Structure formats: structure tokens, C-alpha cells
Structure 1
Amino acid sequence: MLTVVAEICIKPGRRQRVLDIINKLIPTVLDEEGCHQYDALVDHQAQVPWKQNSPDSIFMLEQWESLRHLEQHQQMPHMETHREQIKDDVIDVKILVLEPTA
């Protein structure tokens, strides 16, 4: 099982628009073969000194059965459409693909 953490850095003032688009996409992705989790998360605005703040980012937390499933997901037509819909709102995307250590 692979865990993906993706930070989608959004232009200021456009996060809710992108989040609305992602929320419509989630059920379709969850129906994909090998997808076990696909959640959108946003920064909790806690005022503590040890926390980094990312108010203009959306974080995707995903679990995929294998790298093959994740690669198939990236090539799905609905993902191509999704990327096209949000391209003018996104500054950067940082993707981590993680595996368990035990």
C-alpha cells in the first residue's frame, strides 16, 4: 500500500473554488481500481509556534494499492479534465509517494 501526500499550492483567494472542484471529483476517484482513500484537507488555523501555516494550499491524502494503480489514476480522463479545470488557479504541486517501513 502506498500513501500519497500532495500539496496543491493555490493562488490567494482561489482555494475554495479549487476545493469545490476537488470535492466533485472525489467520488469518481474512490471508484477507481486500487484506490483506498482520497481526501482533501486544508490547513487548521491554529496559532501555535511550532506549526507551519499553509492557508492557500489543499493537501490530498491518498492511499493506493500499488504504483501501477497510482499511475493509472494519473492517466484517467477525469484527471486530465480536472487538471485543465484548475490549471489557472494552481501555483505549484508537491507530491510525496510514501511506503510503510514495517
Structure 2
Amino acid sequence: MLTVVAEICIKPGRRQAVLDAINTVIPLVLAEEGCHQYDALVDHQAQVPWKHNSPDSIFMLEQWTSLRHLEQHQQAAHMETHRARIKDDVQDVKILILEAAK
């Protein structure tokens, strides 16, 4: 099982528009073979000194059966349409692919 954490860095003031677009694609992604989790998360605005603040980011927390499933997801037509829809609102995307430590 692979866990993906993707940080989508959004242009200021455009986070809700991107969240709305993500929410429309979530059911399609969850229906994909090998997808076990696909959740959008945003920064909790806690005022503590040890916390990194990311008010203009959306974090995707995903779980996939295998790298093959994740690669198929990246190539899915609905994902290509989704990326085209949000491209003008996104500044950067950082993707981590993680596995359980042994």
C-alpha cells in the first residue's frame, strides 16, 4: 500500500475555487481501481510557534494499492481534465509517495 501526500500550492485567493474543482473529481477518483483514500485537507489555522503555516495550499492524502494504480490515476482522462481546469490557479505541486517503514 502506498500513501501519497501531495501539496498543491495555490495562488492567493484561489483556494476555494480549486477545492470546488477537487470536490467534483473525488467521486471519480474513489471509483478508480486501487484507490483506497482520496481526501483534500487544508491548513488548520492554529497559532502555535512550532507549526508551519500553509494557508494557500491544499494537501491531498491518498492511498493506492500499487505504483501501477497511481500511474493509471495520473493518466486518467478525468485527471487530465481536472489539471487543465485548475492550472491557472496552481503555482506548484509537491508529491510524496510513501510506504510503511519496516
Q: TM-score, normalised by structure 1?
A: 0.99
Q: What is the distance in 1 between the residues matched to 2:23 and 2:76?
A: 17
Partner of 2:18: 18
Which residue pairs with 1:54 in the alignment? 54
Unaligned runs of 5+ in 1: none
Aligned mates of 1:18, 1:61 — CA distance in 2: 16
Equivalent residues in 2 for 1:20-99, closer than 5 Å = 20-99=20-99
Q: Which amino acid aligns with 1:84?
A: A
CA drift of 1:6 comes to: 0.2
Matched positions, count: 102
CA distance in 2, matches of 1:29, 1:9: 20
Structure 2: gaps of 5 or more residues:
none
Let me know the Cα RMSD of the aligned residues.
0.4
What does the per-residue CA deviation read over 1:38-70, in whole Å, with 9 as the maximum and x for residues that have no partner? 000000000000000000000000000000000
Deviation, structure 1 residue 24: 0.8
Q: Write out the 4+ residue segments of structure 1 that deviate beyond 3 Å after TM superposition.
A: none
Amino acid paired to 2:8: I
